[in-house]
Amino acid sequence: MSSHDVVITGIGLVSSLGEGPDAHWQKLTQPGFQPVLDAARFPPYTIHPLPEIDWNLQIAKRGDQRQMETWQRLGTYAAGLALDDAGIKGNDELCTTMDMVVAAGGGERDEAVDAVILAASESRNDRDVLLNEKLTTELRPTLFLAQLSNLLAGNISIVHKVTGSSRTFMGEEGAGVSAVETAAARIRSGQSTHVLVGGAFQTEHSDMLLGYELAGYLHRGPWKPVWQRQGSEGGGVVTGSGGVFLVLEQREHAKNRGRKIYAELGPVVSGRARRRQGELNSEIASLLKQANLPDGDLLTISAASGAHAATAAEKAVLDANPALAVRAFSTLTGHMKEAQFPFAVALAALAVDRGAGYPVFDATVERPFKGVPNSVLATAIGYHQFEGLGLIKAA
Amino acid sequence: MANLRDHMGRPIVAVTGIGVVTSLGIGKADNWAALTSGKSGIHPITRFPVDHLNTRISGMVDFLPSSSKGASHLTYELAETAAQEAVSDAGLDSGDFGGPLFLASPPVELDWADRFSLYNSDKQEAGAERLLRVARGLKELDVFETTQFGSIADRLADRFGTRGLPITLSTACASGATAIQLGVEAIRRGECDKALSIGADGSATAEALIRFSLLSALSTHNDIPEKASKPFSKDRDGFVLAEGSGALVLESLEAALARGATILGIMRGCGEKADDFHRTRSKPDGSPAIAAVRAALADAGLGEDEIDYVNAHGTSTPENDKMEHLSLSTVFGERIGSMPISSNKSMIGHTLSAAGAVEAAFSLMTMRESVIPPTINYDNPDPAIVLDVVPNKKRDAEVGTVLSNSFGFGGQNTCLVMAREPV
């Protein structure tokens, strides 16, 4: 134990299961809990939709809400929950010295404008001129700001006054891994005392589905748990809307201000397998080695997406290590892209804090975990590229 | 024997390789020759029709094989070209770099050319439903990869043999500086001996231009394109959208000296501070930019009187140049009137995600060559901004230290302090 250890003092969570650590714990520990699904809005795809959210609770000004689309609101909201949870919100001194690393994709396009342009393109050959004509007249000027990747962080600064430093990492699950890894490295080296880190994904928009489906990654047909999608129609990913932010803090800093500590964030490791050359299995195995796993049964919160190849590789490597009792949470929340790894870390920290594991999310594949989880492993193997994992320990 | 640790006991970070591409050309030599002769790279847009557009000029890079292939392909080629120059400059194996990669690049979206082509390859249904149905029948990953935020870095990692999971980042107009800062920090923390930091932006599409135009951010001085970007002038009316790339090989001074590398400059300090005022405007008192400059000086261990030259963010928007002047005069006090401060953007326009890296490259060359590139188009000074902008003509000067500013939409401010020599 060292004064520069990284501990988790705030968790903000939103998913189809509800909002906040308590709601998530309660639902995820209910044996046989059934996911919230919507198969009607984007057929043939199923999604896990957002719960009802009163944005006013974390984004007080209507003017701020209007400047954002759902993705940014969701992230800003989850960030507010985490800051509240850590006792930082509204504390000027702590907010202005707080660093931030956000894992982000892009925001929502105006689907109606796009549809008008696409429809007109069927009868016009001067498509570039058509584009200029429609975009100059139909686009809402401020929509651009709602689409920019770095503006989730920008909105968090504006709404919650977090202004120490602000970085936005892009690149699907890998961005979430790097965000947590970099934030932890800053704290361990004494560069930061407290960092807000996380991301959000809003799947209820056809362009967000298109981002997966251009490579045929989405699962079609009846919903199944993450581990059971091999061989089904489509590519295996069922998406969900959600957001997660963590407050990572130097142990000494957290102790000095008398905060509750959920857990310690141990080693976080990341990699880039050249998957086309068949390196994924050995890369995951190598990351497991680097993480210094403790002996004995180890609860493992997996962010497996269901994507056929990546999920099969992860399963093969985890199965080869009989000490790991795996829980793939995306079975119940859907895949939240950039938010996957921070979400896994949050669920791992909750288990450590409550001193209990989660029941199986898929009884046909996952095995029970008995006992008190002093350490929990969190994994994020990207549906297409990039890998990472981290070990969360009792504080 | 040079000190290998800085004033805070951290490894000193040297620059051993520099690469750059802008509308002025490919590579350091061509860019430097153009920049010091006051040449502008701003020209009429030819990549797409300009019907209905208020702004019809830009600093696009139109001379690369990927220039007409969409934002993702061009951004990759820009990054690769600059990185190749930087890595060979450093005398390193360009297929086995062996350190981490930090890439500043624009957020990606499915290009309209692909959207049109996918949509019109079918007749059933309409709008998004049709796109999704066509998408799931695609047999190739090419289009998919252009929509993945991590793909450009993934390709670069393969190409240059960088180590580990590459980081792709955006802090808007400060991105290039942030990529350098992340590399500096990784070396200082002892995570690596060297890092490859790249800022690249090839995203000057019609839609990007229109989006900035709708925010009233762009110059509409279309008639004489090379005169449109005029930082700190009274009649400045917006920035000129541009493309480019800058790449730096960063190395611990110790590792660089050990292998006998040429030291091109030292990354002395990085500072940042986020603004919480507004999505496109900075806090009226300039406090975030002021704090970012001061943080960079403190990180560098230098006082206000130890900066020889400022490579300004200088976008040529009414707002930025006014606020930058306010911030700099607050930090540097009376000295500000006699310090040289010039804006490369007067010649290359605003290369957005690449700007911080491109301008860091030019800052390092300014010190090495003892020549300060001018701020061109300074014909009509803004009386409210009294600065020595190195007007219109290059200046020979010994420059030992540079402050380079990057201030972004969304309130992300990053400043870099560079030095010619190790302490």
What is the full DSSP assignment across A301-320?
A: EE-----HHHHHHHHHHHHT
For chain B, the helix, strand and coil percentages under 3-state DSSP, each to the nearest 5: 35, 20, 45
- Chain B nearest-CA distance from A241, in A, is 18
Amino acid at A300: T
Q: Are A1 and A68 in contact, with CB atoms under 8 Å apart?
A: no
Which residues of B fall within a CB distance of 8 Å from A166? 171, 272, 274, 410-412
- Of B374, B348, B366, the residue nearest B403 (C-alpha): B366
Given B73, B221, B325, B350, which residue is catalytic? B350
Q: What Å distances lie between residue B177 and A142, A153, B106, B171, CA to CA?
A: 26, 17, 14, 9
Q: How far is CA B259 from the centre of its chain?
A: 29
Q: How far is CA B159 from CA A38, A272, A291, B71, B196, in A?
A: 42, 13, 28, 19, 12
Mean pLDDT of B264-271: 98
- Which residue of B165, B189, B214 is the best one to mutate when testing the A interface, meaning the one whose CB has the most A CBs within 10 A? B165
Region A345-353: mean pLDDT is: 98
Tens of pLDDT along B187-217? Answer: 999 999 999 999 999 999 999 999 999 999 9
Asked if the model's pLDDT at residue B410 lies above 90, the reply is no
* Largest CA-CA distance found in chain B, in angstroms, rounded: 73
Residue B313 annotated among the catalytic residues of the structure: yes
B57-99 pLDDT, tens digit per residue, is 999 999 999 999 999 999 999 999 999 999 999 999 999 999 9
Confidence of residue B1 (pLDDT cuts 50, 70, 90): low
Cα nearest neighbour of B291 on chain A: A164
The residue among B51, B131, B136 with the most chain A CBs within 10 A of its CB, best to mutate, is B136
DSSP A277: G
ipTM confidence score? 0.98
Using a CB-CB cut-off of 8 Å, the residues of chain A touching B131 are 118, 206, 210
- DSSP secondary-structure letter at A234? B
Q: How many CB pairs under 8 A join A and B?
A: 242
Using DSSP, state whether A298 is helix, strand or coil: strand
pLDDT at A227: 98
Contact flag A129-B51 (C-beta cutoff 8 Å): yes
Look at A111 and B127 and tell me if their CB atoms are within 8 Å. yes
Q: Is the dihedral of CA B27, B28, B32, B33 positive or negative?
A: negative
**Amino acid occupying residue A46:** T
Does B409 have pLDDT greater than 90?
no
What would the mean pLDDT of B339-356 be, rounded to a whole number? 98
- Residue-range domain boundaries for chain B: 13-108+148-417, 114-145
The pLDDT tens digits for A285-310 are: 999 999 999 999 999 999 999 999 99
Question: B408 vs B5, which has greater pLDDT?
Answer: B5
Q: What is the mean pLDDT of residues A179-196?
A: 98
Say whether A165 and B273 touch across the interface (CB within 8 A): yes
Shortest CA distance from B178: residue in chain A: A167
Q: Which domains does chain A have, with CATH numbers?
A: 6-107+148-393 (3.40.47.10)
B411: confidence class by pLDDT, cuts 50, 70, 90: confident
| Residue B325 is a catalytic residue | no
State whether A158 and B278 contact (CB < 8 Å): yes
| CB distance B281 to B121 below 8 Å | no
| CB-count burial class (<10 Å; 0-12, 13-18, 19+) for B277 | middle
Given the residues B221, B313, B325, B415, the one annotated as active site:
B313
Whether CATH 3.90.1010.10 fits B13-108+148-417: no
Instruction: Assign B423 a pLDDT band (cuts: 50, 70, 90).
Output: confident
Q: Contact at 8 Å (CB) between A176 and A338?
A: yes
| pLDDT tens-place string over residues A58-77 | 999 999 999 999 999 999 99
Q: For residue A151, what is the nearest residue in chain B, using CA coordinates?
A: B410
Q: How far apart are CA B291 and CA A335, in angstroms?
A: 39
Q: What angle do CA B15, B17, B21 make, to 5 degrees?
A: 120
Residues B102, B45: contact at Cβ < 8 Å? Answer: no
- A388 contacts B172? CB cut-off 8 A: no
Does residue A42 carry a pLDDT above 90? Answer: yes
Geometric angle at alpha carbon A354, from A350 and A360, rounded to 5°: 70
From the list B173, B192, B270, B415, the catalytic residue is B173
Check residue A3 and give its pLDDT.
86
Within 8 A of A382 by CB-CB distance, chain B residues are 150
To the nearest whole angstrom, how far is the Cα of B355 from the nearest Cα of chain A? 16
CA nearest neighbour of A250 among A361, A395, A379, A143 = A395
Query: Once rounded to an integer, what is the mean pLDDT over residues A122-134?
Result: 97
Would you call B350 a catalytic residue per the annotation? yes
Calculate the CA dihedral of residues B304, B305, B307, B311 and round it to 10 degrees: 70
Please, what sign has the CA dihedral across residues B274, B276, B278, B284?
A: negative
Interchain proximity B138–A216, CB inside 8 Å? yes
Work out the average pLDDT over B159-176. 98
Contact predicate B161/B399, CB 8 Å: no
CB contact under 8 A, B276 and A170: no
